[in-house]
Structure 1
Amino acid sequence: MWWDIVKVLYIATRWPWPVEMGRQRMIVQTLEFAATLGEVHLLSFGDPPKKPAPDFITSSGILEMSGMMGIAGSMLRRPLLPLQSHLFLNGPATAAVMEAVERIRPDVIVFDMARLSHLALAIHRHYPGIRLVLDMDDRLSKRYQRMLTNETAGDLGGTFEARLPGAIRFLVPRLKKLLLRVEKSLMDRSERRAADVFDAILMVSALEADEMRTDCPGRADVVAFPPLINELPVPQQDFSRSVRFVFIGNAGYAPNAEALELLDRAAVQVSKNTGSSDTDYCFQAAGKPLAHAVYKKVEVAGFVPDLSAFLAGNAVLVAPILQGTGIKTKIIDALEHSVPVITTPVGAEGLGLTEGEHFICVLGEDDLAQACLHIIRSPEARGGLARMAAAARNKGLTSQNRTILRDRLTFAFGL
């Protein structure tokens, strides 16, 4: 049948396994759905993989990232590209991509985020008949604007910090505001051009997909492709005797580190205002911890091998996210496991959830502390948590189920 002969090549900026962060999760989701449509090949920038590709990947390879001299030369030749694009713009990597395209002869090539747009242009010049899809994730220009507005946090290096040449690692935090302003402008230009370069653009948020269609009109089909919400069994929940306020996320990512620090400060407030008559509670965090970070009240569990077990019983997800764009995968984890959610407007953004009906909305540290205290002190509030979580899960499943997402990727691939 037709889907057995479609060949898809995915070019990623990082090896997606093991999945340790939201972007890796979304790359894997695209790859897994693509494998239901045909034959999937993967090229990834960076170091040799810690974990091999699964069996549904037909072939894979590693591409060379640029060194200091390569980055400097690339910036001189192409000064209007986003700064991060120069990490991936070098002769050996481009030659390896072209060799793979010639060898595989893919029908569709998917590019991981707008930072790889330059590769799409090179491929289109040589192979104009191949369908090009940008797995954009979210609007980085919008994210950088929020980082500029929120002056207390933000990291241009992001999860690529360790992979930057040493001199750049030294300069980035010292020139953060200047680099953010420059990168916001360059990335906005790149995103607008993407609508004319690619045949389709995948975005995790339906809200940002609508914004992209309005702000960047072009020939590309802009498709909302959010994280899948799996229909997992609803766990047994009991909030009558105790509550665990839990956080999930890689603390090496600046928005998560900021949220975890905020949660710890709120937890200190809670501890000062609770007594022996209140129900038992604790604050826990799962995920890669931030090196040398010390929290007063949040217990750091580190990586948990069984997320379902961590979220079972009396867990309430707390995600006081103040920056970032797209959809927060920690909220998806909560929806999948029917776990109640306390988050900010930024945390709930793009999910179509209603405050009070599907989640508890907080605006900052004091607000979060009061929300936690209300749950701790009120049996009625705890009694409504499971109903709220179930309503949120059902809402998410209407637009983020397996059938809908497969159909959307099929459309984006032009099949």
Structure 2
Amino acid sequence: MNRPLRILWLKTGPLHPLDTGGKLRTYHLLRELNRQHEVTYLALCEPDTPPEIKQQAAEYCRHALWALWSAPRKGSFRFFADLGVNLFSSLPYVLARYRSENMRLEIVEEDDPARHDVMVCDFLTPAVNLFPMSRERRRPQLKVLLFQHNVEAQIWERMYQQQRGALRRWYFHLQWQRLRTWERRLCAMCDGVAAVSETDATRFREDYGLTNVLGSVPTGVDVDYFGQTRLHPVPGRVAFVGSMDWMPNVDAVQWWAEAIWPLLKQKLAKASFSIIGRNPPPSVIALAERDSSIHVTGTVPDVRPHLGQAQVVVVPLRAGGGTRIKIYEAMAAGLPVVSTRVGAEGLPLKDGETILLADTPEAIAEAVGGLLADSERRARLAGAGQQWVRQHAGWGQAAQTLAGYAAQLIA
């Protein structure tokens, strides 16, 4: 198909502020897509969303439609009540919390081949309002492409494996199994599935037995934006960047502080660790209260000044899925990266050339310590990583790939 596509894009909220990897990926893909195609953005929206955030949707779509919805605040009475009610549901809570009659009705209204050519469900969560499309359980008229940023059940499986205590292990196991069932079911109901890495695409095909997986959409990075990072490193400064209201990131920094950081401080007395990311929970803030060498920034308007103070960026993830944009951002900024294999999963990077990979506390501490002690090695690894993302990680190619999958469904 040579003509521009009319894309109906389903999402669980506005994209601004751009403070998560998922939002950043979608934002840059949509900006590229909207240059050549007509994107209508349909998303959940809380009643108190500032008007300017809705207005900023013009940066990434031609038309924006909002379905009013309210999420319970974490830790509130309603939040815990919803968790309790959900115990008697077949849906995992991470899907059930996004159910919305307003969203369902908006989808039914927009499901019209006279208005749109194809529907893209961004992440698994909007699909809970897509199937069934109505009480009559009819399928959508439009072809549906499910864009999976993660294998969602795998994240919960890995989180379950890290839990301590019988009750927490029981709950995480329950949610993992429910999510696995529903992820497989919803993926199969879509006309096509696109992953963010060939690793994930293979997992969808082999673990879920899906025959509708079209391929993967490569991860990109805004090379020009992060290339403007002013590097003024603090000696011994190590940094982690990530949304601190996402459980795998919380687990990563806690594991770092408890198991890895003490090993590194034995070698480097002046070392410091900066946790950069929005909404840190009390458990993360407590890390800085117990150890003066750990700094928690909280939400920042621009991560680049904080990245610029680091000598090494670490990604000590033990759980997670998809691909980590934070790795490409650090590389584009000209910083060396040390990651676990889970953290760098799905990214076509070579250990020892563009990134250092290690999985045990001892090996991670040795890799980071070696870089902190050797400026030439830091510069060599950082330079190779920055050159690689400049050559291979543009968003234009990623958007073209996604548009190709959408066109394939309606050919």
TM interval, short-chain normalised: 0.7 to 0.9
Which amino acid is the alignment partner of residue 158 of structure 2? R
Q: Give the alignment's TM-score, normalised by structure 1.
A: 0.80
For residues 332 and 205 of structure 2, the distance between their equivalents in structure 1, rounded to whole angstroms, comes to 29
Residue 383 of structure 1: CA displacement?
0.6
Which deviations, in whole Å up to 9, do the C-alpha atoms of 1:64-114 show, x marking residues without a partner? 3588799999997xx544443332334343223222335983212121322
Structure 1 segment 28-39 matched on structure 2, within 5 A? 28-39=27-38
Matched, 1:282 2:293: no
Which amino acid is the alignment partner of residue 20 of structure 2? M
2:204 is matched with 212
8 A Cα contact 1:200 1:223, kept in partner: no
2:98 is matched with 88
Structure 1 segment 202-281 matched on structure 2, within 5 A? 202-232=194-224, 233=227, 242-265=235-258, 266-274=260-268, 281=271
Question: Could you tell me which of 331, 336, 339 is aligned with 2:335?
Answer: 339
Residue 414 of structure 1: CA displacement?
1.3
Q: Which runs of 5+ in 2 are unaligned?
A: 73-77
Question: Could you tell me which of 373, 379, 386 is aligned with 2:379?
Answer: 386
Residues 312 and 407 (structure 1 numbering): CA distance in 2 closer, same or farther, change over 3 Å? same
Where 1:414 maps in the other structure, the secondary structure is helix
For residues 116 and 54 of structure 1, the distance between their equivalents in structure 2, rounded to whole angstroms, comes to 18
Which deviations, in whole Å up to 9, do the C-alpha atoms of 1:314-365 show, x marking residues without a partner? 5311121111111122212112223100111111111122222222223243
For residues 236 and 368 of structure 1, the distance between their equivalents in structure 2, rounded to whole angstroms, comes to 26
Q: Give the alignment's TM-score, normalised by structure 2.
A: 0.80
8 A Cα contact 2:100 2:129, kept in partner: no
Residues 284 and 89 (structure 1 numbering): CA distance in 2 closer, same or farther, change over 3 Å? closer
8 A Cα contact 2:147 2:193, kept in partner: yes
Matched, 1:120 2:125: no
8 A Cα contact 1:141 1:185, kept in partner: yes
1:330 is matched with 326
Which amino acid is the alignment partner of residue 36 of structure 2? L
Where 2:145 maps in the other structure, the secondary structure is strand
Which deviations, in whole Å up to 9, do the C-alpha atoms of 1:290-320 show, x marking residues without a partner? 2442321212233333333333365311121
Q: Which runs of 5+ in 1 are unaligned?
A: 154-173
8 A Cα contact 1:110 1:132, kept in partner: yes
Where 2:9 maps in the other structure, the secondary structure is strand
For residues 94 and 114 of structure 2, the distance between their equivalents in structure 1, rounded to whole angstroms, comes to 28
8 A Cα contact 1:65 1:90, kept in partner: no
1:363 is matched with 359
For residues 18 and 114 of structure 1, the distance between their equivalents in structure 2, rounded to whole angstroms, comes to 21
1:400 is matched with 393
1:97 is matched with 107
Residues 401 and 180 (structure 1 numbering): CA distance in 2 closer, same or farther, change over 3 Å? same
8 A Cα contact 1:234 1:338, kept in partner: no
